[in-house]
Amino acid sequence: MSGRRRLDWLGLTPEPERELPAAVAALRAAAPGPVPPGPAPAEAERRRVEHLVLRGSRHSWLRYLAEVAELVTAVAAGRRPGDPAAALLAGEVVLDHHRMLIGLPGAAYGRTAADRTALEAAVRTLRTHLPTGDLP
């Protein structure tokens, strides 16, 4: 491909841009330690996602989603404190996104195989341990 950026990854689904910032901010906020100064965590996460979508690459976007997958799987496994409902929402959004990568050219679908497997297990665990009324 010439010097032009590939943007096909942007057309997969709007859910990550819409739903991940609040859920990820909730998961990050559950970590022990002081809250960093600056904008509210959800707003900071929204800005981060916006920056990735507007100025990032497929690689940087997938790196962010891998970070989210790690947060989700850590909450599901009990290695990290966090809101299970937020973890479930984030896990389902990233899992759906990663499943849709099969329709795009390139190796992204293959690269996300381990995250898909981990997220499938995490989502099953989180669904099992959440009361039905708490499901998103």
With 80 as the cut, is the pLDDT of residue 12 above it?
no
DSSP label of 4 = S
Q: What does the mean pLDDT of the chain come to? A: 85
* Percent of the chain with pLDDT strictly greater than 70: 81
Q: Mean pLDDT over residues 101-124, rounded?
A: 92
For residue 39, the model assigns a pLDDT of: 74
Could you state, in order of their start, the residue ranges of all structural domains in the chain?
Answer: 13-31+38-131
CB burial of residue 34 (10 Å; 0-12, 13-18, 19+)? exposed
Q: What is the pLDDT of residues 18-74, one digit of tens each?
A: 899 999 999 998 766 665 666 788 999 999 998 988 888 888 989 999 999 999 999
Most confident of 30-44, 76-90, 97-111: 76-90
For residue 129, the model assigns a pLDDT of: 86
CB neighbours of residue 96 within 10 Å:
14
| Strand, helix or coil for residue 104 | coil
